[in-house]
Amino acid sequence: MALHGNLLSALIWIIIAAVFDFCDGFAARLLKAYSPMGKELDSLSDMVSFGFAPGMVVYWLLGEASTALPFGSLNTYIPYLAFVIPTFSGLRLAKFNIDERQTTSFIGLPVPAHALFWASAGYSVLPVVHANESLFVLVTVILAFITSLLLVSEIPMFSLKVKSLAWKGNELRYILIACAIIFVALWGFLGISGTILLYIVLSIFNKKG
């Protein structure tokens, strides 16, 4: 879908995949149903849904914008810079599988959050792709590398897993959920990207605190 420019469908399916990923993990913890094969299959599905899919969104955006750049035949290769996203997503998933520190929280940006950021941002910026192609490509490539590095960073990031519904201990989660509702109400799908950015900021400040 993303390869053909249907970014809305890509966004919707990535959202659905994120919901199922959360429910799958919740069910596994509730039923204590863990297995090595299940862990590997989960990572494989995450790689497709949250690594390859957002990479194709950015690939299409760069391909659309780079056609107007003055680099001649080099324009053809610019979209391939988007493959930094599935590459680092794969590294993130491999790191998560062997990192025993990430049981109740995360080290680095989770791949579902990263995928939601790019899927929602990609769809939302469609109207401005051709407003300034050079600037669009530059900003998109820089952001792709920055967010990809966040995937494998050592920054602690809180998870949405809760042990109780009490305010104490869940302050950041409730703040994030409340802001997500406001952002989406104000900005539509772009609010999802705003929520992911807020999640990163809250995690960084929580670490400093």
3-state SS string for 102-130 = CCCEEECCCHHHHHHHHHHHHHHCHHHCC
- Asked whether 158 and 172 are in contact (CB, 8 A), the reply is yes
Which pLDDT belongs to residue 200? 97
**Token digits of residue 55:** 């990479």
Residue 92, pLDDT score: 94
Q: What is the pTM of this model?
A: 0.91
At 173-206, the pLDDT tens digits run 999 999 999 999 999 999 999 999 999 999 998 8
Q: How confident is the model at residue 40 (pLDDT cuts 50, 70, 90)?
A: confident
pLDDT of 104 over the 90 cut:
no
Residue 69 main-chain phi, psi, to 5 deg:
-80, 155
The runs of H, that is alpha helices, within the chain are 7-31, 36-47, 53-66, 84-98, 111-124, 133-151, 171-187, 190-208
Q: How far apart are alpha carbons 85 and 180 in whole angstroms?
A: 24
Averaged pLDDT score across all residues of the chain: 89
Distances (CA, A) of 12 to 47, 54, 194, 198: 17, 12, 17, 21
Q: Which two tokens stand for residue 37?
A: 């094969």
